[in-house]
Amino acid sequence: MTSVGTGIITSTPTPGLRTDRPALVVSSTSWTADEDFSILIEAMEEYEKKAEEGGGRLPKMLVIVTGKGPLRVRYMKEIIEREVQQGWKWVRCRTVWLEASDYPLLLGALGLELIFGVCRLTGRSGSADLGVSLHASSSALDLPMKVVDMFGCGLPVCALNFAW
């Protein structure tokens, strides 16, 4: 990298992801019976087994769950018990409550750049690698706003397959 105007040339490493960076998965939920959170718990347990078998070929995974609701304590107690009792080494799941302005930063908001009055996308600037939606649609016609939010931030989403 060259420092402009000083004539000093410095060498710095190219920025990049750390090799030990965990995969970051985000799920937004209302912690109600409308969302069967046991699906994600089973997926985390399966990932733990596969990562252990893989001996380091898979990254560790951090699952962040946002939202408030009546089943939060029940499901998080079950997750923490599995993490501890089964000795999970590859998967961690934690909950957070985010202000509306912080949510897109976690998801990976698309950057916008204004150049000579023209707006263009600069790519994802956030942190999440994957979004998960466990919303079950009774009509099979609605797209949950959490999925719209994730798509709007350029985040790939795994969601339940609705029967058409």
Which has more pLDDT, 72 or 116?
72
Which CATH superfamily hosts domain 23-159?
Answer: Glycogen Phosphorylase B; (3.40.50.2000)
Highest mean pLDDT among 36-40, 119-123, 142-146: 36-40
Which has more pLDDT, 158 or 161?
158
Residue 120 is predicted with a pLDDT of: 46
Enter the DSSP assignment of 35: B
Highest mean pLDDT among 12-21, 65-74, 141-150: 65-74
Q: Is the pLDDT of residue 7 over 90?
A: no
Q: Is the pLDDT of residue 72 over 60?
A: yes
Average pLDDT over residues 93-116: 75
Q: Is the pLDDT of residue 50 over 90?
A: yes
Q: For the purposes of burial, counting CB atoms within 10 Å of the CB of 57, is it exposed (0-12), middle (13-18) or buried (19 or more)?
A: exposed
- Distance from CA of residue 83 to its chain's centroid? 19
Which region, left, alpha or beta, applies to residue 141 given φ > 0 means left and ψ of -120 to 50 means alpha? alpha
Residue 92 is predicted with a pLDDT of: 96
Q: What ranges do the domains of the chain cover?
A: 23-159
The model carries a pTM of 0.78
